[in-house]
Amino acid sequence: MTTATSTAPPKNRVARVLARREARVAFLFVLPAFLLFIAFRFGPTIAGVGLSFFDYDISGEIAFKGLANFQRMIADPLFWRALGTTVIYTIFAVPISLVLSTVMALGVRRAFRGSRFFRSIFFLPVITSLVLAGSIFVWIFSGNGPWSQLMTPLGLGGSWLGSTVLVIPAIVIVGVWSRFGYGMMIMIAAMQDIPRELEEAALMDGANSWQRFRSIILPHLKPTVFFLAVIETTAAFQVFDVIYVMTQGGPANASYSLVYMLYDQGFKYFDYGYAAAIGVALFVMTLAVALIQRLVIGRQK
Partner 1 sequence: MTTMTPPQAQPLTELESRPAPARSRSYRALEPSRGGIVVRWIWLSLAAVLAFFPFYAMVVLSLKPGQVVELPGSLIPWQDISFASYEQVLSGQNILGWLGNTLIYSLVSVVAVLFLSALAGYAFAKKRFAGKEVMFWSFLAMVMVPFHVTLIPMFILMAGIGGVDTYWGLILPTLANAQAVFLMRQFIQGLPDDLFEAARIDGAGEFRIFLRIVLPLCKPILATLGIFVFLWHWNDFLWPLIIAKSNAMFTLTVGISSLQQQNVPLSTMLAGSVVALAPIFFAYLIAQRYVQEGVTGTGIKG
| Residues 97-126 close enough to bind partner 1 by CB under 8 A | 104, 107-108, 110-114, 116, 118-126
What minimum distance in Å lies between the beta carbon of 28 and partner 1? 8
Q: For partner 1, which residue of 17, 287, 288, 296 counts as binding (CB under 8 A)?
A: 287
User: Closest separation between CB of residue 79 and partner 1, Å?
Assistant: 15
268 touching partner 1, by CB under 8 A: no
Interface segment toward partner 1; rule CB under 8 A; list 9-17, 65-73, 153-161, 194-202? 194-202
Omega cis (within 30) before 146: no
Site string for partner 1, 17-56 (x = CB under 8 A): --x--xxxxxx-xx-xxx-xx-xxxxxxx-xxx-x-----
Q: Which of 72, 78, 81, 238 binds partner 1 (CB under 8 A)?
A: 238
Q: How far apart are CA 118 and CA 250, in angstroms?
A: 35
Judged by beta carbon, residue 6 or residue 204, the one nearer partner 1 is: 204
Backbone CA torsion sign across 180, 183, 185, 191: negative
Positions 140 through 169 that interact with partner 1 (CB under 8 A): 140, 144-146, 149
**What's the min distance (Å) between Cβ of 301 and partner 1?**
18
